[in-house]
């Protein structure tokens, strides 16, 4: 058995993804590029409410899914050590 690269479900060896939506989400997540300077700016100079609206406008500008952009920004912020990883607490 192998696993879907996006959702980590078990799938047959002959398949690459478990569903069409996982395939689309996976490749869109790869294409999302968030600059380090943008991540630093939104976490240091914006409030929680302003951050949410700024992220939403950023996602809409490039026609990316909002949940994928939020995940990518959070991963980048953890990598840059701006915020701590909530799963490690």
Q: Are 36 and 72 in contact (CB under 8 A)?
A: no
Cα gap 14→31, rounded to integer Å: 25
Displacement of CA 73 from its chain's centroid (Å): 6
Q: What are the domain boundaries of the chain?
A: 1-31, 32-89
Closest CA to 78 of 51, 52, 44, 39: 39
Confidence (pLDDT) at 20? 93
Confidence (pLDDT) at 76? 94
Q: Is the pLDDT of residue 64 over 80?
A: yes
- pLDDT tens digits, one per residue of 38-58: 999 999 999 999 999 999 999
Better-predicted residue by pLDDT, 84 or 26: 26
């Amino acid at each position: 058995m192998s696993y879907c690269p996006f959702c980590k479900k078990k799938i047959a060896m002959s398949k690459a993804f478990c569903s069409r939506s996982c395939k689309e989400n996976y490749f869109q997540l790869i294409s999302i590029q968030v600059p380090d300077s943008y991540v630093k700016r939104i976490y240091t100079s914006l409030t929680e409410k302003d951050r949410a609206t700024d992220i939403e406008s950023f996602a809409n500008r490039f026609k990316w899914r909002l949940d994928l952009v939020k995940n990518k920004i959070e991963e980048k912020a953890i990598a840059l050590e701006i915020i701590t990883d909530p799963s490690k607490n």
